[in-house]
């Protein structure tokens, strides 16, 4: 069902919003180059060791010229760039820089939504700095990060979060890009569907197969047609291809899950070997749940497996407690789907409410250095 009035009302709301997405350039690597200027002209990366199946967390632009990128296996990165210098992560040093960066962001607005140690959305719609100009605020923030922290940052300025994040990548490194309300329609129409928020490789291939290469192509489809092909995500596609994103910048981001995982230097040969790893994983998970203060918010348990051939699967069930018997049952169920050696094993809980202390997860947790989550 088409909803033209909805689109018009959203467009009016977009015009009054000023969202900045700030993202430091190759953050971990940038901090390392700041502290050792001799590294600046060399290809460097921060990540795990190749002999421990490590991955690259981030790399500088010298390394990217060889095709090295974040989330790539360190061994593969070294094949592409034999002279690559791989540094172990120095998380405390990065956290100190992060606190400085977030303090700068919060000088301009209380509406700061951190996405990682160095990246955040800022809603400056009502800010009085720089005579209310979001463009000038972004420029000033970037200059302050350079002067205070000693690294560069890029920024995107737009009427919503979706577009601001795309814009921040437009003139990297050390640049910024503005998408004004009147420019949204034309800008979005020309974007490839791969740039859609939430579209991964599989969905992108499906879109291409259906004849959609750009956002403009998607606009020819009704919401019902998109829902038919992509389920609930079809409604999101309908909005994003029109530049519509009503999400607010929220300083309090809801936590969805807490988990731990381990990549093994030698594959676990069978389900019994996997079971033997559960007690240690559960202890780690229990400590993380306690730190996150979400013990009373658990609603599901899950087990994640990545097999030796890199195929992965997750099994989950309803539960309000961390139950070993249930985790063993989930492990058996997940393992039966592949029935072959396991390289990565993870356990976790899904929760309902925000943790009081938000941990840095995903790429920015030290556990990531052992493998891709």
We report the CATH number of the domain holding residue 159 as 3.30.70.270
What is the pLDDT, as a whole number, of residue 372? Answer: 32
Q: Does position 365 have pLDDT exceeding 50, yes or no? A: no
Question: Both 116 and 224 in a single domain?
Answer: no
Residue 352, annotated as binding a ligand: no
Stretch (H or E) spanning 315: strand 312-318
Q: Using 50, 70 and 90 to split pLDDT, how confident is the model at 41?
A: very high
Using one digit for the tens of pLDDT, what is the confidence trace for 315-360? 999 998 899 999 999 999 999 999 999 999 999 999 874 333 333 3
When divided into structural domains, the chain yields a total of 4
Residue 38 lies in a domain: yes
pLDDT at residue 198, as a whole number: 67
- Mind listing the pLDDT tens digit for each residue in 206-251? 888 888 899 899 899 999 998 888 888 888 889 988 999 998 998 8
> Is residue 366's pLDDT more than 80?
no
**245 annotated to a ligand binding site:** no
Same domain, 17 and 140: yes
pLDDT band at 4 (very low <50, low <70, confident <90, very high): very low
More confident position, 9 or 143: 143
Residue 362 covered by a domain: no
Domain assignment present for residue 368? The answer is no
Once rounded to an integer, what is the mean pLDDT over residues 77-94? Answer: 94
In sequence order, the 6+-apart residues with CB closer than 8 A to the CB of 336 are 271
Tell me the average pLDDT of the chain: 86
Residues 303 and 169 in one domain: no
The catalytic position among 32, 62, 119, 239 is 119
Predicted pLDDT of residue 358: 37
Q: Are residues 14 and 32 in the same domain?
A: no
Asked if residue 76 and residue 120 are part of one domain, the reply reads no
Residue range of the domain that includes 175: 10-23+92-183
| Contact predicate 296/345, CB 8 Å | no
- Compute the average pLDDT of residues 34-61: 91
Domain shared by 157 and 14, yes or no: yes
The closest of 57, 179, 48, 34 to 116, measured between CA atoms, is 57
173 falls within a domain:
yes
Both 98 and 171 in a single domain?
yes
Annotation marks residue 290 as catalytic: no
Pair (17, 103) in one structural domain: yes
Q: Predicted confidence band at 102 (pLDDT cuts at 50, 70, 90)?
A: very high
What are the pLDDT digits (tens) for 179-206? 999 999 999 999 988 877 667 777 888 8
Compute the CA torsion angle 20, 203, 218, 161 (nearest 10 deg). Answer: -10
**How many residues in total does the chain contain?**
373
- Output the domain CATH number for residue 263: 3.30.1490.100
Largest CA distance in the chain: 65
Domain CATH for 221: 1.10.150.20
* Helix or strand run (H / E) with residue 344: strand 342-351
Mean pLDDT of 8-37: 83
Average pLDDT over residues 274-281: 93
In terms of domains, do 139 and 14 share one? yes
How do beta strands 19-24 and 44-47 pair?
unpaired
Say whether both 46 and 115 belong to one domain: no
Whole-number percent of the chain with pLDDT over 90: 58
């Amino acid at each position: 069902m088409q909803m033209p009035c909805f689109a018009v009302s959203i467009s009016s709301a977009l015009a009054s919003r000023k969202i900045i997405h700030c993202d430091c350039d190759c953050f971990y690597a940038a901090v390392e180059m700041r502290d050792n200027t001799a590294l600046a002209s060399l290809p460097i990366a921060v990540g795990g060791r190749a002999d421990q199946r490590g991955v690259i967390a981030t790399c500088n632009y010298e390394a990217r010229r060889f095709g090295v990128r974040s989330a790539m296996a360190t061994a593969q990165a070294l094949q592409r760039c034999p002279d690559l210098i791989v540094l172990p992560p120095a998380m405390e040093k990065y956290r100190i820089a992060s606190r400085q960066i977030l303090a700068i962001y919060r000088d301009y607005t209380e509406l700061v939504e951190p996405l990682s140690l160095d990246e955040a959305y800022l809603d400056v719609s009502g800010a009085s700095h720089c005579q209310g100009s979001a463009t000038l605020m972004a420029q000033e923030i970037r200059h302050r990060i350079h002067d205070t922290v000693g690294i560069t940052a890029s920024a995107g300025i737009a009427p919503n979060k979706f577009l601001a994040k795309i814009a921040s990548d437009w003139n990297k490194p050390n640049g910024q890009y503005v998408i004004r309300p009147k420019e949204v329609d034309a800008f979005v129409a020309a974007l490839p569907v791969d740039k859609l928020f939430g579209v991964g490789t599989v969905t992108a291939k499906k879109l291409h197969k259906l004849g959609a290469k750009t956002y403009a192509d998607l606009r020819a489809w009704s919401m019902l047609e998109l829902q038919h092909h992509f389920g609930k995500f079809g409604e999101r596609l309908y909005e994003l291809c029109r530049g519509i994103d009503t999400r607010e910048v929220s300083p309090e981001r809801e936590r969805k899950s807490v988990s731990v995982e381990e990549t093994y230097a030698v594959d676990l040969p069978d389900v019994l070997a996997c079971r033997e790893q559960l007690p240690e994983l559960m202890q780690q998970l229990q400590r993380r749940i306690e730190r996150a203060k979400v013990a009373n918010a658990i609603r599901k348990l899950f087990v994640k497996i990545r097999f030796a051939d890199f195929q992965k699967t997750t099994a989950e069930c309803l539960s309000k407690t961390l139950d070993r018997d249930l985790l063993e049952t989930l492990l058996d169920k997940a393992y039966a789907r592949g029935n072959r050696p396991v390289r990565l094993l993870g356990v976790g809980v899904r929760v309902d409410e925000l943790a009081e202390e938000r941990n840095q997860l995903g790429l920015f947790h030290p556990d990531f250095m052992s493998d891709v989550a």
